[in-house]
A and B are shown apart, each in its own frame.
Chain A
Amino acid sequence: MRDLRHVRPYGDTLDDGMVQFSFSLPVPHGEEAREAARQFVAKMGVLEPQVVHAADLGEDMTFFVVYGKAPHDIDYTAIKVPKVESPVMDFYEINQFIRDRIGRKIVVLGACTGSDAHTVGIDAIMNMKGYAGEYGLERYPEIEAYNLGSQVLNEELVKKALELKADAILVSQVVTQKDVHIPNLGELVELLEAQGIRNKIVLVCGGPRLGHELALELGYDAGFGSGTLAPEVASFIVNEMVKRTVG
């Protein structure tokens, strides 16, 4: 039986601790470069580092793949990651829920904000044809869904939210550099607070680098990671809307 209190990486055999690194160093390709890569990985505390691949990238840069053994283990049983805990309904249930509990169509805006031009995430949630067998929000008869596309400025998003009287805003951040998504996501919250409409809007963000915990820290109501489907997001929005009117 596996010991989940001491989990180590698996390479060839259980608990061998094998890990693989790939990185570049700004040094010319050669034996010295290989040794530099080996020493670098050793300094990270990795045991028996072996450079198994080194390639000249040109311009005095070298790319490496290094194997080694990690001396650490993880107690898997102690891990707790906050996740959105909202009952997930299906397409039909969500529309019925909106008719029964909200009594009007709801307005949802989606956008990829800042410098991010990667709409794969927001499209999977919004587009009528949907993703992985689930319709996107544009298909929901009780949801007026507006996909604003990519590189939308926060100011523009708030403008649309005011004009369309949005009930919910979905922000997607897929590819960002140097954590630029963090201040960018934060600014939207601050703008909504300053305009006095933060409490009126269910604010959700999503993307491969966004968990629920970070989303909450940034002042969002929820954060969804990769692979999230439209019903999960829609269920959260409608439940949150009802919770606010009841609460």
Chain B
Amino acid sequence: MAHAGIMPLWERVDALGVRDLAIVGVSKHAGKTTALVRLIEDASRTGRRLGVASVGVDGERADSVLGTPKPPIPVPTGTLFATAIGAMKEASSPVEWIEPTGISSPFGEVWVGRAAASGMISLAGVRQLSHLLLLRARFRSLGADHVLYDGALSRMIAMHPDAVEGVILATGAVVGNVEDVVRATRQGLRKVGIGLAEGAVARFCALQVGFDGVAVAVAEFPAVPTDVAEPAPARVSGENGNRTPEWSRAALSDIRRYPGATAFTDDIRAAADVTERHRVFYYSGAVTDAAAQSILLRPFPSLLVAESPAHVFLSEGVWRQYTRQGHAVMVRRSAKLIGVTINPVSPRGVTLHRATLRQRIEALTDVPVWDVME
């Protein structure tokens, strides 16, 4: 399937200095595979060698959730990919199987192969973060310029910064009407686009690399010299006028660490030595609603720092409540947002108004928005 107009995705990938990337969807059938096919086509035209894999089962003849056919994945000669050989029965591309990976799946072991001629492939069998890390190393050693992952079912591991440097967010009509798509996309963007910790907070986080638990710190903000015309280091945030400090200017002290603590098992406020002046909370594991709720009513605006966006699990309601109180969430590291793809056609046969959808999604973000059906 050749497209007249090509999405300038790879230009953007280059401009951002991204080597390995993933497509993650706000929901299933959001057009991830369609976008993947476009990326592979364009990569081939610009002489890039790809290593391709899908998190979950994709490129299958039939979809196991909605029962609708999935688009096949055409690849040019030389494309490296990882899949379970048993999933390739319907594929048309002749394959040179290079090596087994040790990843087992219901279709048999996952192997790394190379397309000996252009044709269709099926990608299946890759499911966990550890699989992605293993494949990235294998693809690199075999000379891939980029590794490209197709995320399945909004699998957030595909955007883990250990696995990729860049992420494309896929959204589309499968979510519902235009309002539903906008809402789901806003949530997706909010998650992918959580701000990176800066300044002293970033340095505090760097100290926690390899640490398993929760670390807290006292934050203070230097008084702004009177000869500087700049306003106080705070801005008004939320409807209730609470002030969110500029965390990049915070000075941190009295760092305390709680090895083995988690958002699931520990209410960090209860630790005897955590005072109200402790305002920065780093979690090495998941940041959940419970973590946000535990500091919701603190008198000073506080900051939750997660390891990456894949570690943040705040529900919409708690997030809103939390940020309205002037609190903030940041991440130690994250994959860059490359752009958003929209698919105005749903597999159930609904087509949304293209121009409206595009306009509404563009209004949500500064990154490029591409219509995969154009």
Instruction: Give the chain B neighbours of A191 by CB distance below 8 A.
Output: 286, 288, 313
When the two chains form their complex, are residues A182 and B65 in contact, meaning their CB atoms are under 8 A apart?
A: yes
A155 touches B129 (CB 8 A): no
Which residue, B65, B106, B128, B311, has most C-beta atoms of chain A within 10 A?
B106
Q: Which residue of A lies closest to B289 (CB)?
A: A155
Q: Once bound together, how far apart are the Cα atoms of A190 and B158, in whole Å?
A: 10
Q: A193 with B153: in contact, given A82-B106, A179-B65 (CB under 8 Å)?
A: no
Cβ of B121 to closest chain A Cβ, rounded Å: 17
Binds B, one of A8-16, A24-32, A93-101, A156-164: A156-164
Report the separation of the CA atoms of residues A11 and B298 in the bound assembly, to the nearest whole angstrom. 69
Evaluate contact between B64 and A182: CB separation under 8 angstroms.
no
Evaluate whether A196 and B289 lie within 8 angstroms (CB atoms) in the complex, with A83-B106, A159-B265 already known. no
Across the interface, do A199 and B130 meet the contact criterion of CB distance under 8 Å?
A: yes
Inter-chain CA distance A34–B29, complex, in Å, is 35
Size category, B interface: 35 or more
- Is A141 an interface residue when CB atoms closer than 8 A count as contact? no
A195 close to chain B: CB less than 8 A? yes
Which label, helix, strand, loop or mixed, suits the secondary structure of the B interface? loop
Which residues of A lie under 8 Å from residue B262 when comparing CB positions?
162, 195
Closest to A220 in B: B127
A80 to chain B, nearest CB (A): 8
CB distance from A139 to the nearest CB of B (A): 29
Chain A contact residue count (CB 8 A cutoff): 32
Are A183 and B154 closer than 8 Å at their CB atoms? Answer: yes
Bitwise interface map of A from 106 to 122 toward B, beta carbon under 8 Å scored 1, else 0: 00000000000000000
Residue from B106, B157, B160, B290 within 8 A of A213 (CB atoms):
B106
Chain B proximity mask over A196-235: 1 for CB below 8 Å, otherwise 0: 1011000000000001111011110000000000000000
Extra contacts besides A179-B65, A193-B129, A193-B157 (20): CB < 8 Å: A155-B288, A155-B289, A155-B313, A162-B262, A162-B265, A182-B28, A189-B155, A194-B285, A194-B311, A196-B285, A199-B128, A213-B57, A213-B106, A216-B56, A217-B65, A217-B153, A218-B56, A219-B56, A219-B127, A247-B102
Offer 23 A-B interface pairs, CB within 8 angstroms, sorted by A: A85-B106, A155-B289, A155-B290, A158-B286, A162-B264, A186-B154, A190-B310, A190-B313, A194-B285, A194-B286, A195-B262, A195-B264, A196-B284, A198-B129, A212-B106, A213-B64, A213-B106, A216-B56, A216-B105, A217-B56, A217-B57, A218-B153, A219-B56
Residues of B bordering A, CB below 8 Å: 27-28, 56-57, 64-65, 102, 105-107, 127-130, 152-157, 160, 212, 262, 264-265, 284-286, 288-290, 307, 310-311, 313
